[in-house]
Amino acid sequence: MQKKILLFIFLVTQLLVAQKPKLALSFFKKGDYKEAIMLYKPLHEKNPIHRDYFKNLLISYQQIEKYADADKLVRKQIEKFPNQVYLNIEIGYNYQLQDQIEKAKQYYEETLNLIKTYPNYGFSIGQAFKQNYLLDYALKTYKIAKTINPELNTEISEAQIYGEKGDLKKMFNSYLNLIEKDQKYYSSIQRHIAIFITDDSKNKTNILFKNLLLKRAQSNPNNSWNILLSWLFMQQKEYNKAFTQEKSLFQRKLKNLDRIIEVGLISFENNELETAQNVFNFVLRNTQDSEITLYAQIYLLQIDNQLATTTNEFEEIDKKYQNLFEQYGKDNETINLQIAYANFLSFTYNQPEKAIKILNRALVVSNSKFQEGSIQIKLADVLVYTNQFNQALLLYSQVQTELKNSILAQTARFKVAQTSYFKGDFKWAQIQLKVLKSSTSQLIANDALNLNLLITNNIENDSIHDALKGYATADLLAFQNKNKLAIDTLTTLLIKFKGQPIEDEALFKQAELFTKTKNYTQAKNNYLKIIEINQDGILIDDASYYLAELYRKQLNNSEKAKVMYQKIIFEFPSSIYLVKARKKYRELRGEIVN
């Protein structure tokens, strides 16, 4: 019994000891410096080499103006660790806090002089100056060290200080100088620069960075400048400009198509179909690789599918698929082609039975779990198209179980939720969606959040869920590409549930379908009605933006488009459409948007 008591006491003691640093840091962060000193003092005495204990204890003394104790602490630390020359800066800074500026400068200058003998001390000294907000001294430190030893890479440290000072031009130039010196730093430098870049091409920082790159590209051609320009244009969603840079790189000497294909994929995902089409046609002209050729042709057919409107065009797409199968066959090397064709057959050509046969045959020749999972998801999609919900749910669940934690499994879980929603099983759908809100795929997480919000907002005051069931039916018809039926279903819903929460959702969905079927006037009327009926609705900024786009692209009314973009800029400053609206508003006003 006594042993158990002693063991318990030992464990409790160890736990308390382990908690002391966390408790000390908690007091420090909250500004309870007296309490922090009481805990940090014994921690520092027991482990004087631990820099955080020393620094936080020092700051705590200084915050309550116990400068003598702070001075004593630093001098004692110097006695123990005489090689830590940066500690002289701490003595100087302690004097500066007491307005003894001349004494402070004396210690700063003495520390700077040490760099002339020991240039490698530059980093620790520069960091000490920086930690005490002595940024000009930190810059001076790196410049002295660099003068003595030009091989030192101080550019990142200097750039970070320029960033803190708000001198972005010098910051960018420091980063670019390092890339010019050694391209192996490209990836890490890009991460640093990304902090300052936005998706707005009119942002002053973006313009500054672009101009610096263009200037360097003209005076000293370097692949890195084109790569960074391409990256910048991609951030700004200017995919055609990014493609121009990538073509220059390819033609110059980088005969690898990977980067160009990436531009095509992202353009396709963002519905920039013209750029995507140009990219994949370029790929076809510049490769002899049969796998890459097939990959590009699949995407070109998917683009054709989205752009086609007539039966003749659809028949031509079907022939192109058949030609590809004649050329490449139907084995495990063409699984992606078979999935794309099945999607076309079902959702565009209305031949789901043929699509199911193709996908079942593809399952037989697949040679990996991930290939099998992709086929099963598409097969389940086709089953949803034919209203075979239970069979579809079994397939989605199978993928979810067999490929746990993969993106395919998360996609399958979302489709379980979506199919359950289509069936009217809203509770089970919500259970799945709540899990997916933390998905590693941002797209899946966003889709899950939006569907969950739709369900939550429309079941609270409707015990039998009639309105949401009607909307889900229309949503299913839209998923099945039965757009006219979906529009008619929504019309009935709008009459039956006028004035209820589902109204603006139904109007918005119907407007999307009107746009898809080129009934632009009706789409416009729906968006205007959303804005009219609910000034506080969650879809009002969405409706305003899409109406502006409709005026600009399809209805050729620039003045009304400007009014709607302006509405977003001034009335919805936190809208996700703000940056796009501002950019397009400026374009319509005739401003030059580079």
pLDDT per residue as tens digits for the range 10-25: 433 443 445 689 999 9
In whole angstroms, what is the distance from residue 108 CA to residue 112 CA?
6
In a domain, 186, yes or no: yes
| Domains of the chain: total | 1
- Annotate 136-152 with b (16+ C-beta within 10 A) or e (fewer): ebbbbbbebbbeeeeeb
Query: What is the number of other CB atoms lying within 10 angstroms of the CB of residue 516?
Result: 14
Q: Which residues contact 186 (CB under 8 A, 6 or more apart)?
A: 179, 224, 227
In whole angstroms, what is the distance from residue 369 CA to residue 234 CA?
33
> Which residue range is the domain that position 192 belongs to?
171-236
Which among 545, 558, 548, 567 is positioned nearest to 590, based on CA atoms?
A: 558
Query: What is the number of other CB atoms lying within 10 angstroms of the CB of residue 484?
Result: 10
Q: How far is CA 95 from the centre of its chain?
A: 46
What is the helix (H) or strand (E) element at residue 29, kind and residue range?
A: helix 2-30
- What per-residue confidence (pLDDT) applies to 17? 46
Listed in sequence order, the DSSP H helices in 403-539 are: 407-423, 426-436, 442-459, 466-479, 483-496, 502-516, 520-533
Query: What is the number of other CB atoms lying within 10 angstroms of the CB of residue 67?
Result: 15
Q: Which residues contact 137 (CB under 8 A, 6 or more apart)?
A: 108, 112, 129
Asked if residue 259 lies in contact with residue 249, where contact means CB atoms within 8 angstroms, the answer is yes
Q: Please write the tens of the pLDDT for every residue from 404-443.
A: 889 999 999 999 999 999 999 999 999 999 888 777 777 8
- What per-residue confidence (pLDDT) applies to 462? 65
In a domain, 217, yes or no: yes
In a domain, 3, yes or no: no
Asked if residue 138 lies in contact with residue 161, where contact means CB atoms within 8 angstroms, the answer is yes
Confidence category of residue 591, pLDDT binned at 50, 70, 90:
low
- What per-residue confidence (pLDDT) applies to 7? 41
- What per-residue confidence (pLDDT) applies to 594? 47
- What per-residue confidence (pLDDT) applies to 12? 36
In a domain, 45, yes or no: no
**What Å distances lie between residue 336 and 99, 161, 378, 395, 407, CA to CA?**
72, 49, 11, 18, 17
In whole angstroms, what is the distance from residue 445 CA to residue 439 CA?
5
In a domain, 177, yes or no: yes
Q: Please write the tens of the pLDDT for every residue from 295-337.
A: 999 999 999 999 998 899 999 999 999 999 999 999 889 999 9
Q: Please write the tens of the pLDDT for every residue from 369-386.
A: 999 999 999 999 999 999
Could you tell me the two tokens for 9?
């006491």
Phi, psi of 488 (to 5 degrees): -65, -40
Q: How far is CA 528 from the centre of its chain?
A: 31
Q: Please write the tens of the pLDDT for every residue from 199-208.
A: 888 889 999 9
Q: Which residues contact 330 (CB under 8 A, 6 or more apart)?
A: 338, 358, 361, 362, 365
Could you tell me the two tokens for 522?
């009706």
Residue 34 has pLDDT above 90, yes or no: yes
Nearest 5°: CA angle at 108, between 106 and 114? 105
- Annotate 543-579 with b (16+ C-beta within 10 A) or e (fewer): bbbbbbbbbbeebeeeebbbebbbbbbeebeebebbb
- What per-residue confidence (pLDDT) applies to 479? 95
Which among 486, 418, 421, 492 is positioned nearest to 459, based on CA atoms?
A: 421
In whole angstroms, what is the distance from residue 451 CA to residue 437 CA?
10
In whole angstroms, what is the distance from residue 378 CA to residue 104 CA?
71
| pLDDT higher at 24 or 587 | 24
Asked if residue 378 lies in contact with residue 346, where contact means CB atoms within 8 angstroms, the answer is no
Could you tell me the two tokens for 576?
């996700």
Residue 268 has pLDDT above 80, yes or no: yes
Query: What is the number of other CB atoms lying within 10 angstroms of the CB of residue 262?
Result: 15
CA dihedral in degrees (341, 343, 344, 349; nearest 10)? 120
Nearest 5°: CA angle at 551, between 548 and 553? 100
Mean pLDDT of the chain: 90
In whole angstroms, what is the distance from residue 244 CA to residue 264 CA?
12
Q: What average pLDDT score do residues 510-514 get?
A: 96
First to last CA, the chain: 79
Asked if residue 152 lies in contact with residue 119, where contact means CB atoms within 8 angstroms, the answer is yes
Could you tell me the two tokens for 79?
């006695």
Residue type, 60: S
- What per-residue confidence (pLDDT) applies to 15? 38
Asked if residue 473 lies in contact with residue 507, where contact means CB atoms within 8 angstroms, the answer is no
Confidence category of residue 119, pLDDT binned at 50, 70, 90:
confident
Could you tell me the two tokens for 8?
């318990």
- What per-residue confidence (pLDDT) applies to 10? 40
Which among 419, 339, 420, 517 is positioned nearest to 347, based on CA atoms?
A: 339
Q: Please write the tens of the pLDDT for every residue from 439-490.
A: 777 788 888 899 999 999 888 766 678 999 999 999 999 999 999 999 999 9
Could you tell me the two tokens for 508?
């918005």
In whole angstroms, what is the distance from residue 277 CA to residue 265 CA?
10
Put simply, whether the predicted model's pTM sits higher than 0.85 gets the answer: no
Residue 553 has pLDDT above 80, yes or no: yes
Could you tell me the two tokens for 179?
């890339």
In a domain, 537, yes or no: no
Longest dimension (CA), the chain: 91
- What per-residue confidence (pLDDT) applies to 463? 65
In a domain, 215, yes or no: yes
In a domain, 201, yes or no: yes
Could you tell me the two tokens for 354?
């043929």
- Annotate 186-211 with b (16+ C-beta within 10 A) or e (fewer): beebbebbeeebeebbbbebbeebbe
Could you tell me the two tokens for 560?
């009304």
